[in-house]
A and B are shown apart, each in its own frame.
Chain A
């Protein structure tokens, strides 16, 4: 089976780098998801692996051997497209048989394999239908087993769920994951949808402007974002740029947008910084509550979303925080205009220096109650 390696892969269009030095090592059977906003280079990267785009630098290796010189039809890669790309003039069974016909597989073997594939996709009853008579989910399942039928060395999925509605997306996504895992296929998937990426991937690669921002597991990217972009993209953190002031006691003070936050930790820096806060790790507290990891503000918007409540809290003229807390907790939905305190722990905040490198969290020194009181008074 196969190990796919991307070695400083790059594609230049004129002055623009569509993909810049993308390196990635995918062991046999792993599913890697390339994630990022549109134009980040993820599709270009996938197409370079498939052979439809010729890289301007770097290499693509399969089991240590460069495949750059191979044309697409000799790379043995199964491809699944966003718009299914089934052959409209061929029946479902003929679509699935296509790759085997190209390989000259003998008829009995071919038919047996097609039958197996149709069973995998639960499409036996539709074998003789034309693609246009199928629903989107069925079409994508045909496309998937058509790619699997040739027992490809690598499976490439280009936004495979984007044309499906939400319910089908989950179902087809599960199908893809199960079949991929069962076949032990080395897989690269491209998507712009982070929920899809989080649900499907063994490992994520977050890209922006042609460059890899961070590679790692879901937990790596969520808990240890490499830069503010990663923090903002994964989990939709609130990202604030401002100034950090070291304090004697408690957490650092962070000033931005006409308001201040008292951070949960201390950071070995002073001056321009970026702070990312996870909305689902913030909570609302009665006004006046203070200490490390706190800010005072007013509720501007409040929505009950079923699993969570979402509050938009205004902390200053240009400073707002989204707070998302589970409805299972013993909190309540506030009304716009309510004065509240926002509280959080170390796990909710990530601080990056001016060069966007994450700063280590240092535990705040305990604050004596009288010191806190003094400071509150002196602030007022």
Chain B
């Protein structure tokens, strides 16, 4: 066959193959689009449903509702205000402690090879492998034992909850700090030193800005994890000192009304706004290290 080049058995005539390839490609695109739509639906539909439910003018969730109202939103603060405050204080405290300990730990682990480095890295990650409910129970028992010996009031305090949350949020901050430093050019630190920056100023002016993404991610993750944690916190609350997820759980045992849906919507809006703000404008690296 002089006028048709062949590679192996397949003639190099592209038209029929190109046609079928185009069909496959178009089909593939349709399937991909359909899958993407399904994925988006899985994410969005429950959110929309929650939004819809939160406006039902019913004290039980009945479909179709008699009418629509926004009164559930006004009920959020009276019912959950205390828990919201406890959760916020706990989450902020846990996040602050995790950043203050985790970011320096990340810098140290990334920069130095020292004896016991692997052990410390393992220890820092260990809490992630234990079920939260087990850690929560363990901390509760330990707190009670300490209380019996010393008379210190520990159980049912915000401090204990924050300390417990740090067990999980700290490893994440360390990991994200290490990840942020993986692409960090050490020569920039030497350049800063040669330009007259003392070691602390090098960290402040060069290392922390380079870690900014990791620090922001670590702070967000810590805050959200702590704010939403249910299982670990279950044993650590006390009457009057309850976090939001546990208050919601308690509420749901006796009421099935749209208040919880309204709370969920409010939470989504607040967290979403915070995410966008933090990610876009706040120089978290500076706010954190101060």
Query: What would 6 A/B residue contacts be, using CB atoms closer than 8 Å?
Result: A79-B194, A81-B187, A81-B190, A85-B190, A86-B188, A143-B191
Cβ distance B239 to chain A, nearest Cβ, rounded Å: 48
> Are the C-beta atoms of B195 and A98 separated by less than 8 Å?
yes
Question: Please, how many residues of chain B have a CB less than 8 angstroms from a CB on the other chain?
Answer: 20
* Residues of B in contact with A (beta carbons under 8 Å apart): 185, 187-188, 190-199, 201-202, 205-206, 209-210, 212
> Are the C-beta atoms of B188 and A150 separated by less than 8 Å?
no
Residues of A within 8 A of B187 (CB): 81, 83, 85
A87 within 8 A of B: yes
Task: Supply 19 further A-B pairs (C-beta < 8 A) apart from A81-B191, A146-B195.
Answer: A52-B190, A71-B199, A72-B190, A74-B196, A75-B194, A77-B194, A78-B195, A81-B187, A83-B185, A88-B185, A89-B209, A89-B210, A89-B212, A99-B196, A102-B192, A103-B196, A146-B191, A150-B196, A156-B194
> Are the C-beta atoms of B198 and A73 separated by less than 8 Å?
yes
Most buried by A among B191, B195, B210: B195
Residues of B within 8 A of A85 (CB): 185, 187-188, 190-191
Cβ distance A99 to chain B, nearest Cβ, rounded Å: 3
Residues of A within 8 A of B198 (CB): 71, 73
Residues of A within 8 A of B197 (CB): 73, 98, 102
Residues of B within 8 A of A78 (CB): 194-195
> Are the C-beta atoms of B188 and A87 separated by less than 8 Å?
yes
A79 and B191 in contact, given A73-B197, A73-B198 (Cβ under 8 angstroms):
yes
> Are the C-beta atoms of B196 and A87 separated by less than 8 Å?
no
Residues of B within 8 A of A33 (CB): none
**B188 partner, pick from A72, A88, A103, beta carbons under 8 A:** A88
> Are the C-beta atoms of B212 and A72 separated by less than 8 Å?
no
A72 and B194 in contact, given A81-B187, A87-B188, A102-B201 (Cβ under 8 angstroms):
yes
Most buried by B among A71, A75, A81: A81
Nearest 8 A-B pairs (CB), nearest first?
A: A99-B195, A102-B196, A85-B187, A79-B194, A72-B193, A85-B191, A89-B209, A73-B193
Inter-chain CA distance A102–B210, complex, in Å, is: 18
